């Protein structure tokens, strides 16, 4: 158990819908990272938050957004969902801003039908 | 999106054999990491490399950071059934990880 908690574990939704994925980082970790894992693109960095502020953005679609709350948990919002958004979404956390010491959660498997 | 090139894509070996896998990049990275992912789980960090040429071991695992900072290899000695999974390399310069395409390892008794 990495100490990073992601909910829900599985999510099935229809095209055009909006979903929210939640991540609770390890106790004491200030950084939260979101990654998408799909069959054709592999593991791709989406976005990084540190202590409530956005630090870096990767290949994140405009339909996707994220935020980190004062209690340090983070949410990834995915809207106007398309079939191609079906993937595993991972959250990782670390104490500082370096992702090299980040611990990954078990992921949320999103299926868009 | 950017990905690092890993080889081989998959390996089928017998228990007790040694395994070697590689990762290459067209870009230089300050840090290289190796992760293992089991089905239904997130990646778990195995080894982190911070200096060019560095050779680091973690039990039966040994990894080296290439001198050019553009490649790395991971060796697993005396494989066991629980080594089954997907192994990913990842490079980092800042606060994000660029992952490799993965090597799927199957170990047969």
Tens-level pLDDT at each residue, chain B (109 residues): 678 999 999 999 999 999 999 999 999 999 999 999 998 899 999 999 999 999 999 999 999 999 999 999 999 999 999 999 999 999 998 778 899 999 999 999 8
Would you place residue A72 in the very low, low, confident or very high pLDDT band (cuts 50, 70, 90)? very high
pLDDT, chain A, mean: 94
**Residue A80 to residue A28: CA distance in whole angstroms:** 34
Phi/psi at B102 (nearest 5 deg)? Answer: 95, 145
Would you place residue A65 in the very low, low, confident or very high pLDDT band (cuts 50, 70, 90)? very high
Torsion region of A28: left, alpha or beta (phi above 0 gives left; psi -120 to 50 gives alpha):
left
Tokens of B26: 């067209």
Record: contact A99-B99, CB cut-off 8 A: no
Distance from CA of B97 to the nearest CA of A (A): 7
Does pLDDT of A4 surpass 90? yes
Tokens of B55: 């050779």
Unique residue bearing structure tokens 């997130």? B42
pLDDT for res A98:
75
Record: contact A99-B95, CB cut-off 8 A: yes
Instruction: Extract the runs of DSSP E, i.e. beta strands, from chain B.
Output: 5-7, 10-14, 19-24, 31-37, 44-49, 55-58, 61-65, 71-76, 85-92, 97-99, 103-108
Which residues lie closer than 8 Å to B20 by C-beta, 6 or more apart? Answer: B73, B74, B75, B76
pLDDT for res A96:
78
pLDDT for res A2:
86
pLDDT for res B2:
76
Peptide bond just before B8 cis, omega within 30 deg = yes
Distance from CA of A87 to the nearest CA of B (A): 12
Unique residue bearing structure tokens 């080889």? B7
Instruction: Dump pLDDT digits (tens) for A6-32.
Output: 999 999 999 999 999 999 999 999 999
pLDDT for res B93:
85
> Taking CB atoms and an 8 Å cutoff, what residues of chain B touch A103?
45
pLDDT for res B67:
95
Distance from CA of B36 to the nearest CA of A (A): 11
């Amino acid at each position: 158990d990495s100490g990073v908690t992601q909910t829900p574990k599985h999510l099935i939704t229809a095209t055009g819908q909006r979903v929210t994925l939640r991540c609770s980082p390890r106790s004491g970790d200030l950084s939260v990272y979101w990654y998408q894992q799909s069959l054709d693109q592999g593991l791709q960095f989406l976005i990084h938050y540190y202590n409530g502020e956005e630090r870096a953005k990767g290949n994140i679609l405009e339909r996707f957004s994220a935020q980190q709350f004062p209690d340090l948990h983070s949410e990834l919002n995915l809207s106007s969902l398309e079939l191609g958004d079906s993937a595993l979404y991972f959250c990782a956390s670390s104490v500082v801003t370096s992702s090299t010491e980040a611990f990954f959660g078990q992921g949320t498997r999103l299926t868009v039908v | 999106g950017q990905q690092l090139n890993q080889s081989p894509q998959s390996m089928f070996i017998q228990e007790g054999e040694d395994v070697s896998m590689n990762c290459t990049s067209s870009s230089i990275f300050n840090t290289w990491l190796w992760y293992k992912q089991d089905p239904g789980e997130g990646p778990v960090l195995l080894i982190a490399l911070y200096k060019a040429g560095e050779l680091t071991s973690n039990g039966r695992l040994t990894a080296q950071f290439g001198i050019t900072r553009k490649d790395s290899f991971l060796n697993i000695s005396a494989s066991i059934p629980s080594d089954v999974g997907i192994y990913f390399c990842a490079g980092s310069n800042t606060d994000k990880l660029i992952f490799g395409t993965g090597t799927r390892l199957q170990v047969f008794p």
